[in-house]
Chains A and B, each alone.
Chain A
């Protein structure tokens, strides 16, 4: 099975900061990677698919990059409503696996 490792596990930043999350796959997954935002008590919401394709309705301050084994999710200017846990997930092959998540807090 492909293992997904996210770092850091938690992150504290100020409004307006540039924030970057990382996700590493244990083997090459090309760009078969999703990023999700999950707020407490809610289902995960897909932000980015295919490593860098922004989903409809997602603010342009979110961007994704990477291929192969190393991926990033960046928020260019942190907003208060971005407080959430962020998950990466590969879909290169079954079983699909997730990173352990990064909890984002406001400083």
Chain B
């Protein structure tokens, strides 16, 4: 059974940084691309970033380009999202998702507020 468990969310002031993690199990992690998707309170879903199986291909939504960095460690079956220069509009539940977004974690909440 695929399991994705996000962690690292919390309350952070505007302009500060936060690093999210996603621990994967139940599948061969290094065979699949992975993604981060977010959902602001009461809003729809927004794809944030994706990384190929070998980190050779990475992409970001325009809204986070230059501020967020996605990485993965296939030896630890883990996905990461380094979020810098956080803004109030980054407040959301952040999900990690597998491949074509077939499987999702339960999310970790990031709140950006002074």
Contact = CB atoms under 8 A, between A and B. Distances in A.
Contacts of B88: none
Interface in A4-60: 32, 34, 42-44, 46, 49
Nearest to B50: A94
**Most chain A CB inside 10 Å of its own CB: which residue of B50, B59, B100:** B100
A86 to B, nearest CB: 11
A96 B47 contact: yes
Instruction: Give the interface centre of A34, A43, A89 by most chain B CB atoms within 10 Å.
Output: A43
B14 interface: no
Interface string B78-106: 00000000000000000100001111111
B35 interface: yes
A89 B101 contact: yes
A100 B50 contact: no
Interface residues on A, range: 10 to 19
A95 B46 CA distance: 10
Contacts, number: 45
A91 B95 contact: no
Contacts of A98: 44-47
Interface in B35-58: 35, 44-47, 50
Contacts of B45: 44, 87, 89, 98, 101
A71 B79 CA distance: 32
Contact of A43 (B44, B50, B105): B105
Contacts of A96: 35, 47, 50, 100-101
A99 B59 CA distance: 20
Contact of A34 (B35, B50, B101): B101
B102 A94 contact: no
B50 to A, nearest CB: 6
A97 interface: yes
Interface of B: 35, 44-47, 50, 59, 61, 95, 100-107
13 contacts: A43-B105, A44-B45, A44-B104, A46-B102, A89-B101, A91-B101, A94-B47, A94-B50, A94-B59, A95-B61, A96-B50, A98-B47, A99-B44
